[in-house]
Structure 1
Amino acid sequence: MSKIRITKQFTFETGHALYGYDGKCKNVHGHSYKLSVTVMGSPIDDTENVKYGMVIDFGDLKKIVKQEIVDVFDHATVFNKNTPHVELAKELSDRGHHVILVDYQPTSENMVIDFAEKIKTNLPEGILLHSLKLQETETSFAEWYQADNT
């Protein structure tokens, strides 16, 4: 059976700050992120299955990515909890802001690694996460490929 890759794209708005960085990104700022999620599998060949011909229903993939990534990170501010930014995070949270504390510097590179782990653990059996592309501006993005991480 042929292996097919399908891709679904998502958008969300997230703020962050890079503690200790030597440029403008040390300041709290935000991005309109675009996330492309590519999975791989064989189309369902059971003619009695309502998902016949699909690798995975785009709606099912959307549900996973929205639950694990988009609904969590959209309109949130992300800080590395292992830095003094934790104090700013607490202040913002106390004022009703949606804050996420992570164990890493919240760069696109580290975020795409985090997203890959979250998505992989929720995919149905037989569906593999092939790649992710996290675009933070029109000209800047990070990519994660399963083939590079085996």
Structure 2
Amino acid sequence: MFEVRVEAGFCAAHYLKNYHGKCESLHGHNYKVYAHARGKSLDGGGMLLDFTELKKALRAVCGSLDHTNLNDIEEFDQNPSAERIAVYIYRAILQQIPSLALDAKSDVHLYAVDVFETDTNRARYIAE
């Protein structure tokens, strides 16, 4: 099994509803995001996937989130946790590259998205 990973980031504000602590107040993060793709075979050029294609999709999604209040994005239902951000980014990448979906005919699929709120706090969404 081969795996590739690309990285992007964005800065955004959010607050968490139904949370009792500092994070219930508006605050911001410099998010770091990793997108992982996996597959069993390489193409004729010896690559699993062109980094450029996956990186372009991830950067576009992160760019759309940059300098926003994540609570204003309907899909987060006023609770943009790192877990919800990870699945949002996963789905947004698949909208741009449908061939990476698990049920696509391709051997390569988008395996996981990691969202770091800090260097030591990460949420991961894994495709199943």
Q: Say if 1:78 and 1:124 are closer, same or farther in 2 by CA, change over 3 A.
A: closer
CA distance in 1, matches of 2:58, 2:111: 14
- The amino acid of 1:72's aligned partner reads S
Kindly indicate whether residue 51 of structure 2 is the aligned counterpart of residue 78 of structure 1. Answer: no
**Aligned with 2:8 (options 2, 7, 10):** 10
TM-score norm. by structure 2 comes to 0.82
Cα distance in 2 between the residues matched to 1:4 and 1:57: 13
| % identical aligned pairs | 28
Runs of 4+ in 1 over 2 A off after TM superposition: 99-104, 120-125
| Uncovered stretches (5+) of structure 2, i.e. residues with no partner | 100-105
- Name the larger-Rg structure: 1
Deviations 1:94-120 (A, max 9, x none): xxxxx5343431000111121112223
**Which of 50, 60, 74 is 2:53 aligned to?**
60
Supply the RMSD in Å over aligned alpha carbons: 1.7
- The answer on whether the counterparts of 1:15 and 1:78 sit within 8 Å (CA) in structure 2 is yes
Task: Answer yes or no: is the 8 Å Cα contact 1:11–1:32 preserved in 2.
Answer: yes
Give, as a single letter, the amino acid of the residue that structure 1 aligns with 2:73.
Answer: I
Structure 1, unmatched stretches of 5+, are 46-51, 80-98
